[in-house]
């Protein structure tokens, strides 16, 4: 099975990389290109001047995005860290390394995504899933030669001043991939409608609301999980991503009679 993991992280495919590119242009004293990118990005599908400003502000700090930090905080509050430490698992987020001199903010953001924040987690669980079902998985973008090539390209080959992401990849695929896809500017995610599912009544959600035997999942702080779920239901707090994974874990424990 062919897997496209790594293409967005190496060729600046996600919207939050706009912030890194803007910061790089600012550091290089290219105000005209910076303003051109800000204006162009604000007109992209799913983005607005306010959201672009938020992305840029997040990139001025260490490379993890505000959205990822928010998810991490929500997940951490629902886990019993002592339970994990007793079993040799440290849930502390790896330290943000200092950006070397001469490396652009965008390139360091990409490198950090590949090695620390974005890719390691999906690569781990996708590898476990593929092996569990005897499916050979190939990652054509995550080869040493392609990674090295992407990370030495000038920034505008990855993300242009007009806000075009994965620019060099789009150019390379001209005549191979349909032009309608190559010209598409908005980022189309591949996610399940988790927030919608959380609003629908189900056995597991009902159990969470009415009570769940804590002994089944000692690694979870069910009081925090219930509070986070109630907040998501009432105000759409943006924690559906975390909640769905924790609920899936509870379902797996219960259905498989897993002893924790």
- pLDDT tens per residue, range 109-168: 999 999 988 899 889 988 999 999 999 999 999 999 999 999 999 999 999 999 999 999
Residue 159 main-chain phi, psi, to 5 deg: -135, 110
Asked whether residue 57 is assigned to any structural domain, the reply reads: yes
Same domain, 144 and 31: yes
Same domain, 135 and 32: yes
From 226, 218, 221, 210, select the one nearest 253 (Cα to Cα): 218
Same domain, 172 and 231: no
Structural domains counted in the chain: 2
Per-residue pLDDT tens over the stretch 178-235: 999 999 888 777 777 877 777 665 555 665 555 566 777 888 887 787 777 777 777 7
Pairwise CA distance, residues 238 & 68, whole Å: 11
At a CB cut-off of 8 Å and minimum separation 6, what does 219 contact?
Answer: 79, 80, 83, 84, 260
CA distances from 41 to 53, 55, 125 (A): 10, 11, 33
User: How much is the pTM?
Assistant: 0.77
Same domain, 147 and 212: no
Residue 80: give the domain boundaries: 7-92+101-182
Same domain, 135 and 166: yes
Asked whether the beta carbons of 126 and 5 are under 8 A apart, the reply is yes
Asked whether residue 211 is assigned to any structural domain, the reply reads: yes
Same domain, 83 and 209: no
């Amino acid at each position: 099975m062919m897997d496209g993991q790594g293409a967005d992280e190496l060729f600046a495919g996600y919207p939050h990389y706009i912030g890194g590119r803007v910061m790089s242009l600012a550091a290089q004293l290219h105000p005209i290109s910076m303003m051109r990118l800000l204006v162009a990005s604000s007109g992209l599908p799913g983005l607005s001047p306010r959201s672009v400003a938020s992305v840029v502000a997040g990139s001025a700090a260490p490379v993890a995005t505000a959205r990822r930090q928010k998810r991490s905080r929500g997940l951490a509050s629902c886990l019993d860290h002592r339970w994990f430490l007793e079993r040799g698992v440290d849930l502390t987020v790896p330290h943000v390394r200092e950006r070397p001199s001469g490396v652009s903010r965008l390139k360091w953001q990409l490198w950090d995504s590949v090695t620390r924040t974005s890719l390691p987690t999906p690569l781990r669980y996708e590898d476990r899933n593929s092996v569990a079902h005897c499916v050979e998985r190939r990652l054509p973008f995550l080869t040493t030669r392609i990674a090295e090539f992407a990370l030495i390209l000038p920034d505008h080959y990855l993300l242009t001043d007009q806000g075009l992401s994965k620019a060099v990849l789009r150019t390379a695929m001209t005549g191979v991939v349909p032009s309608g896809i190559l010209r598409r500017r908005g980022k189309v995610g591949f996610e399940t409608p988790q927030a919608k599912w959380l609003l629908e009544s189900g056995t597991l959600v009902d159990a969470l609301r009415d009570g769940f035997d804590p002994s089944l999942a000692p690694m979870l702080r069910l009081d925090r999980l219930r509070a986070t779920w109630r907040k998501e239901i009432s105000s759409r707090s943006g924690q559906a991503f975390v909640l769905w994974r924790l609920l899936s874990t509870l379902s797996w424990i219960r259905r498989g009679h897993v002893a924790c």
